[in-house]
Amino acid sequence: MPPGSAAEPQQVNRTEMTPLLYLERSEQVFPERTGAVYGARSFTYAELADRIKRLATALRRAGIERGDRVAVLCPNVPAMLEATFAIPLLGAVIVAINTRLNAEEISYILDHSGARILIADAEHAQVLEPVKDSLGSVELVVTVDDPEFAPGIAHVFDGPEYESFIDVAPDPSLEYRVPNEEDMFSINYTSGTTGRPKGVMFTHRGAYLNALAEVIDHRLWTDSVYLWVGPPMFHCNGWCFPWALTGVGARHVLLRKIDPPLVWKLIESESVTHFNGAPTVLIMLINDASAPKQKLDQKVRIATGGAPPSPTLLAQWDAIGAEVTHLYGLTETYGPHTFCDWHYEWDSLDAEEQARLRARQGVANLVACELRVVDDEMSDVPRDGETMGEVCMRGNNVMAGYFNDPEATATAFRGGWFHSGDVAVMHPNGYIELRDRKKDIIISGGENISTIEIEQAVASHPAVMEVAVISVPDDKWGEVPKAFVVLKQGQTATEAEIIDHCRSKIAHFKCPKAVDFGELPKTSTGKVQKFVLRDKEWAGHDKRIH
């Protein structure tokens, strides 16, 4: 560009946004601070940045160029954190894959994304044995060994082991700057419960901004210690927390899998200040025998999402001095879009009312900005806390679109808003509260019934640890609610007792007509797979609306 041209000042007053800048800052400002801990291993931010650059260099030597896709199949281990930065550092695109998918599902994602290299944890690579010779575009598989937590696992692929692969001198030409903040940063695939998963495209700009929102909303700072309970880094890139934590120089305490006794041990030994987890994970932890019976030595801030937490669950965590904050979003919104901002005036309310307020999904975060609840004509529903409509978003943290799927993108963006498919009410103060996914609303005898309202009623029974409610067919009413209940260890309850308890909490027509007891099917991020329950209950029926 010629000196003195009209566009030249933009180079002075503008820096293209990218989460890579967060790594650059901590490498410069906090080089000797511990950046990541995994079992007996720990890395300062200088060491972490060096490992990231060495991985980027190795990928470049393997032929990866700007715009190429590199897939990663790993739990929350050091290689996963390093790949989250190293792949975009090359201008390439990270495709983080759910470690609980089967071979066919993983193969589809690898093929659809066109990934050229796969970085796979040795244990999770085992699932690919049947398809190892037919992975489409994949040219090289790098296997990650974990001698401390998953030792002695044979390699499925002939490619190099991760530590030997990154044993190279960092390329000095690598830069944390990007030419265009709208370039693709990552592709995150949806769960695909209603068909093939779709590839959600994140940009450098959106990732930078939503990570900044996490710093603000969750009060992350240089003395924060974050335990990677959830979500996995393959889920919405860990809700943007890898970048948020790194940006402020906080400490990552990595965790291969959720092990309740180990979680509680690490919370104490590492002086953990923050972690996240779906309500099912919080239920598992608080009901484990290793859970503390008195208040924690330090305040722990927890963000929960994926499903609305019951007031009962929130009250349990409050009793040990933890602060649980509710957030809400989708893969298509980089994870968190809303945050249940707390008003200090609410501190004087009784515990039950505080828990009820914390169960709301809240308001758009500082960078998301735009949030609506609309009817079928795209008109805003009344702010009465009762009228249900669809949650729609627009703003800085909405995806760029679905990878190689313009038709699905156009459908999701119809009317100039992203359509979530979630049903909520809008309260007078502008806070939203989810009532259901559109497909989970029960229409019984012409009445709309929220499964969430029923679940919260069931969860308030003292013997109940976890619950999921779905619709089941009924000859008289078309469909009626049925509850699937997991009881606390050592507790008992009958179907009649659960139903009677619900009748003391909510209208009788909303109460479950039947109750099953047993385990619930879940995703890797702790969401209950209601479609599995629904498939069983509706087997033999031509349609699921009566």
Are the C-beta atoms of residues 330 and 191 closer than 8 Å to each other? no
Could you give the CA distance from residue 485 to residue 466 in angstroms, rounded to a whole number? 6
Judge if 13-31+40-204 and 277-437 fold alike in CATH terms.
yes
- Written as one string, the DSSP assignment of 433-474 is EEEEEGGG-EEETTEEE-HHHHHHHHHTSTTEEEEEEEEEEE
State whether the Cα torsion 359-472-524-259 is positive or negative: positive
Could you give the CA distance from residue 442 to residue 281 in angstroms, rounded to a whole number? 26
From the list 327, 335, 387, the residue with the least C-alpha distance to 361 is 327
Instruction: Give the phi and the psi of residue 323 in degrees, each rounded to 5.
Output: -110, 110
CA dihedral 461, 464, 465, 469 (to 10 degrees): -90
What number of other Cβ atoms are within 10 A of residue 11's Cβ? 9
Report pTM.
0.84
State whether the Cα torsion 275-276-280-281 is positive or negative: negative
Mean pLDDT of residues grouped by 10 in the chain (546 residues)? 46 94 98 98 98 98 98 98 98 94 90 97 96 91 98 96 98 96 96 73 98 96 96 93 98 96 96 92 92 92 83 87 91 94 92 84 93 95 94 96 96 96 93 80 72 89 94 83 94 95 86 94 78 85 49
State whether the Cα torsion 453-454-457-462 is positive or negative: negative
Could you give the CA distance from residue 537 to residue 442 in angstroms, rounded to a whole number? 14
What confidence score (pLDDT) does residue 448 get? 66
What confidence score (pLDDT) does residue 314 get? 85
All structural domains of the chain with their residue ranges = 13-31+40-204, 277-437, 443-537
Instruction: Give the phi and the psi of residue 382 in degrees, each rounded to 5.
Output: -60, 150
- Cis amide linkage into residue 309, ω under 30° from 0: no
What confidence score (pLDDT) does residue 477 get? 77
Q: Is 515 helix (H, G, I), strand (E, B) or coil?
A: strand
* Amino acid identity for residue 345 in this structure: E
Could you give the CA distance from residue 14 to residue 508 in angstroms, rounded to a whole number? 60
Are the C-beta atoms of residues 334 and 304 closer than 8 Å to each other? no
Can you point out the beta strands (E) in 14-163? 34-38, 41-44, 69-73, 93-96, 117-121, 140-144
Are the C-beta atoms of residues 102 and 126 closer than 8 Å to each other? no
Question: CATH number of the domain at 277-437, out of 3.40.50.12780, 3.30.2090.10, 3.90.1150.10, 3.40.1410.10?
Answer: 3.40.50.12780
What confidence score (pLDDT) does residue 545 get? 44
What confidence score (pLDDT) does residue 544 get? 45
CATH number of 443-537: 3.30.300.30
Greatest Cα pair distance, the chain, in angstroms, is 81
504 Cβ neighbours under 8 A, 6+ residues apart: none
What confidence score (pLDDT) does residue 11 get? 78
Determine what percent of the chain falls in helix, strand and coil, rounding each to the nearest 5: 35, 25, 40
Q: Residue 264, by phi and psi: left (phi above 0), alpha (psi -120 to 50) or beta?
A: alpha
Could you give the CA distance from residue 40 to residue 165 in angstroms, rounded to a whole number? 22
What confidence score (pLDDT) does residue 546 get? 43
Task: Tell me, rounded to whole angstroms, the distance of Cα 204 from its chain centroid.
Answer: 18
Sheet of 388-394, strand order: 370-374, 388-394, 418-426, 432-437
What confidence score (pLDDT) does residue 195 get? 61
Could you give the CA distance from residue 326 to residue 332 in angstroms, rounded to a whole number? 18
What confidence score (pLDDT) does residue 6 get? 45
* Fold topology of 13-31+40-204: Rossmann fold (3.40.50)
- Written as one string, the DSSP assignment of 337-350 is EEE-PPPGGGGGS-
Q: Is 518 helix (H, G, I), strand (E, B) or coil?
A: coil
Can you point out the beta strands (E) in 263-347? 274-276, 300-304, 322-330, 335-339
- Written as one string, the DSSP assignment of 71-85 is EEE--SSHHHHHHHH
Q: Each residue of 444-479: pLDDT tens digit?
A: 765 668 788 899 899 999 999 999 999 898 877 778
From the list 165, 206, 166, 187, the residue with the least C-alpha distance to 50 is 166
CA distance to 215, 265, 372, 397, per residue, from 394 (Å):
21, 41, 9, 8
Q: What is the DSSP pairing of strand 432-437 with strand 514-517?
A: unpaired
Q: Each residue of 309-334: pLDDT tens digit?
A: 777 888 899 899 999 998 999 999 99
